[in-house]
Structure 1
C-alpha cells in the first residue's frame, strides 16, 4: 500500500480556543462544544490515521471509526473534529475514556458494545488543496459540501451565526452532556496550537464537605488535593471529586491547618477505604487509567470543613472535571451539603443535536 500523501500531513496540533465568560458577538460562527477526544482525521484512500490533541495516533483504539471514515469522508481529506460516545441520549466521556486500553481484545469488545462517533467541524485539506490558509467561512462551506452524504456515525456539527441561538444552545444542550459553545471568527485561518477561537463553558458553584487529602509530589508536608463529598438521599457521604490548584506556599499552610482534623478510617464515612490504602481510593473500582499504578490513597479528615467550589457539570454522581477552589464556608453545616443544591440541566435528546442542519 502506498504511503499517505496529503497536502497536510500528520501530526498536526489542533487549533485551540481561549475561555471567555460570555458568548461574544461579531463576525463569528457558533457551534456546540462537544465533550470527547479532539481528533484530526487524515484519509488518503484506504490509509486512515486518527491524530489526537497531543499528536499521538488514536487509530488503533477506534477500529469502527476507521471504517466509518472510509465510508463517509472524501477519498483524500484532513478533517478536524471530536470523537464521542453516546449512551442513551447523552455523551459519556467516562465510557469513551475506557477505549484507551492496551488490550486489542478489549478495544474490539468495546467498539461493538459502545461504538464511537465522529463529529466533524473543520476541513484542513481536500484532495490536493491545503485549506488551512483560507478563512473559516470558506472551510465550513467546503466541509458542508464534503459531508453532504455522510451518515452516522460520522456527523457534521451544527453551526449558526446567530448569537441568540448560540445562547439557547448553551442552555439546552448541556442536558445532552455537551459542555458549552465555541465561537470561531469567520475570517480566521487554521492556526495549529493557537488559541484563536473562543469557548464559553458552564460554571456553577457547590458547597462540598472536605473528607480527606492527598499530599503533593513536592513533599509530605504539602497538600496535593482535597477530596470532596456530598451527602446523598440515603444520608451517606459520596465522593464527588477533588480540588488541587493551590500556590506552593498555600499547600504547606493547608497541610498545617488540616492536621487537627486528621482521623482514622474507623471513624470516617469512607471506612471501607481502609482496606484500599496504598491502592486507588476513594473510587478504587474506577482506577486511574492515565496514571497506571499511581498511589491514590488519602489521609482521612473528620467531615467538618465546608468549601465552595466552582464546577462545570456533573457526570453521573461526580464532577466531570477537577473542581476549583472558590472560598471556605464556615457558616455551612456539612450535613446540608447535599446533591439537592446542584443545578441539574433539563434533559435534551442528543440525536436532535446531531440531526440539526446549519
Structure 2
C-alpha cells in the first residue's frame, strides 16, 4: 500500500459543548465504530480510533469499499449496523462483530452486515488533504462518493443551524447520538479536539445495587452499579457511574460497607442471571478488556441516586453515566423505566437513503 497518508492515523476528535454553536457545518453524530479506511486498489485497511486494524472483522465493508470508494483514497467515517427490526442503529450487534473466530466473523457479516458512513476525506489519489480546510475536503468527498451505493453512505450535512436542531431532536429516535459541528476553515488535525459534539442530556433516579473495586486497590470504589425496575418489578442492571475523584472513591468505600450483603437474596444472584434477567454478571467476561475483573460486590438495594445520561441502548444506558446527587427522598421501588424520556421513533432507513 502506497498512499499519501499511511496508517495508522489517529482520527480528529470532538469536544462536548452544551448547545449548537453558530456558523459551523453540522452532521448527525453516528453511534458506531470510528474508522479510517485506507484503500490502494485491492488493498484495504480499516483503522480504529485506537489505531488498531479492524479489517478482519468487517469483510463485507472491505468489499463495499472496493465497489464504492475511489481506487486510491483515505476516508474517515463510522461503521454502523442498521437494524430493520429496530429501525435504528444496533450497538449490541455491532459489538458482537469483534470476534476472534474467523468462522463467526463470516457468519455475522452475513447475518448482521455493517454499513460505512463517510464524513471526511484525508487523501485522494496522490494528494494528501490533511492541510486543506474542511469545506474543501467535504466538497471533494461529495464528488468522490457521488455514485456510491449502500452499504457505503455519505453522511448528511448542513450549514443551517435550524435544520441541525431539528435533526438533533428527530434522529435520536433512530439511535443516533446527537450532532457534530465542524469549522469549515480548519485542516484535519489527528488526535486534536477541533470539532464540537452536542449530545442529549437527561437524568434518572436509579437504585444502587453493587460496586466494583478500583484498579488501584481494595480501598477505593471503581464504579457504582445501577438498577431500574421493569414492569414485572425485577431490578434490571442498566449501567454504571464511575467518575469520582480518588479521595471520594475512598470515602465511598467506607460509606457503603454497611450495605454490603451476600448473593443469597440479592436481585442479581446467579439464579437471576441464569434465568435470563439483565444482571451485571453477563459482562463479567469482556471481549474488549481481556483479563479485566468485572466481578462486583453486592449491596442491599436500599439507596437511590440521580445520574445524568445521554441516551438508552435498549434496556440500558448507552454510555457511563455521571453522578448528580443522592436521593434519600426516593424509595428504590419507585425507580422504574417509566420515568425515562422516550424519543420519537424515526426509521434509520430514512436517514441513510
The answer to whether the superposition gives a TM-score over 0.5 is yes
SS of 2:270's partner is helix
SS of 2:150's partner is coil
Counterpart residue number, 1:20: 17
- Map 1:1-358 to 2 at 5 A: 4-26=1-23, 28-88=24-84, 89-272=87-270, 282-284=280-282, 287-355=285-353
SS of 1:297's partner is coil
- Alpha-carbon RMSD across the aligned residues, in angstroms, is 1.6
How many equivalent residue pairs?
348
- The 8 Å contact of residues 284 and 295 in structure 2, kept in 1 or not, is answered as no
Structure 1 gap segments, 5+ residues each: none
The runs of at least 4 aligned residues of structure 1 exceeding 3 Å deviation read 273-276
Deviations, residues 142-197 of structure 1 (Å, cap 9, x unaligned): 11111011000000000000001101101100100001000010111111111111
The whole-number CA distance in structure 1 between the counterparts of 2:192 and 2:214 is: 31
SS of 1:159's partner is coil
User: Per-residue deviation at 1:281?
Assistant: 6.1
SS of 1:56's partner is coil
The whole-number CA distance in structure 2 between the counterparts of 1:98 and 1:248 is: 33
The whole-number CA distance in structure 2 between the counterparts of 1:339 and 1:275 is: 20
TM-score (norm 2): 0.95
The whole-number CA distance in structure 2 between the counterparts of 1:22 and 1:128 is: 39
SS of 2:282's partner is coil
The whole-number CA distance in structure 1 between the counterparts of 2:173 and 2:76 is: 25
Structure 2 gap segments, 5+ residues each: none
Q: Report the more deviating stretch, 113-122 or 95-104.
A: 95-104
User: Per-residue deviation at 1:283?
Assistant: 3.5
SS of 2:81's partner is strand
- The 8 Å contact of residues 265 and 273 in structure 1, kept in 2 or not, is answered as no
